[in-house]
Amino acid sequence: MIKKLLFLFVLIAIFLAFVPQLAKPSSTLKTVFRLTEQPAVIVKGIQGSALTINISFGEKEVEELLENLSQPYPLLFIDSDWASRFPHITEKIKQRSLPVALLGTEGQHYESDSNLLSEQLRTFEELFSMRPLWFRTTDEEFPLTLLQELNEAEINALGSTVHWSGGTLPKAAKGEIIAVPYAQNEHVAIADIQRLIASRTFQSVEDLLFQSTVKTKKIPQ
């Protein structure tokens, strides 16, 4: 009887030891963190459409743009320097729980300044009280050193399938990620953004990409 109780106790102990491991997510499905095991730029999913807006300029226009957004919200890539100048807009974004990501500068700048990404991340975290899951450079150029930094920080590099600056609407494609600029030298009118939003059914970047397969752009070693 004692031997049976001891055997049962050992089995229970083994079971309890392995339950936490079984509950952990698979390494290939790390929530939204690090969707690719090796440094790479995600440029397309396999279903639906996702809208992203790069914001680094404007005040009243941006406030109007944000007020007119409805769910599912586009992913807003925010320039941390711009956000620092307009804290009242940052607060509105936080109050509405709009999805945000970090918009960097041109890719080449990260090769000449090794501290640039960490400084931008620190500012972003101070403003939004969170670390971004997504990062994009303004020219969508991602040097290998930058990708390695992002990979270590568990931040995904997100490019786009289509960069739309207004005019004729892009033809819908499965898994497309559309990037719309709102910068000083290039920004799309709010009416045009609303026209794009009305042209198809959009979904979040996470829903677009959280599949077993995503398309990436390989980076030369």
pLDDT of residue 217: 55
Helix (H, G, I), strand (E, B) or coil at 209: helix
Task: Yes or no: say if 159 and 136 are a contact pair by the CB < 8 Å rule.
Answer: yes
Q: Which comes out higher in pLDDT, residue 19 or 155? A: 155
Average pLDDT over residues 23-31: 32
The secondary structure of 79-111 as a DSSP string is EHHHHHH-HHHHHHHHHTT--EEEE---TTHHH
Q: pLDDT-based confidence at 1, cuts 50/70/90? A: low
pLDDT beyond 50 at 162: yes
What distance in Å separates the CA atoms of residue 65 and residue 59, rounded to the nearest whole number?
Answer: 10
| Span 27-217 CATH architecture | Alpha-Beta Barrel (3.20)
What are the extents of the domains in the chain?
Answer: 27-217
pLDDT beyond 50 at 29: no
Mean pLDDT score across all residues of the chain: 83
Q: For the CA atoms of 207, 121, 24, 36, what is the dihedral angle to 10 degrees? A: 60
Q: For the CA atoms of 53, 178, 32, 138, what is the dihedral angle to 10 degrees? A: -50
Q: pLDDT-based confidence at 13, cuts 50/70/90? A: very low
**Orientation angle between helical segments 116-128 and 87-95, nearest 10 degrees:** 60
The secondary structure of 113-139 as a DSSP string is -TTHHHHHHHHHHHHHSS--SEEE-TT
pLDDT beyond 50 at 5: no
pLDDT of residue 15: 40
Task: Yes or no: say if 1 and 179 are a contact pair by the CB < 8 Å rule.
Answer: no
pLDDT beyond 70 at 27: no
Looking up tokens 């031997």, which residue turns up? 3
Q: Which comes out higher in pLDDT, residue 3 or 204? A: 204
Helix (H, G, I), strand (E, B) or coil at 72: coil
Helix (H, G, I), strand (E, B) or coil at 43: strand
Q: For the CA atoms of 187, 190, 196, 202, what is the dihedral angle to 10 degrees? A: 100
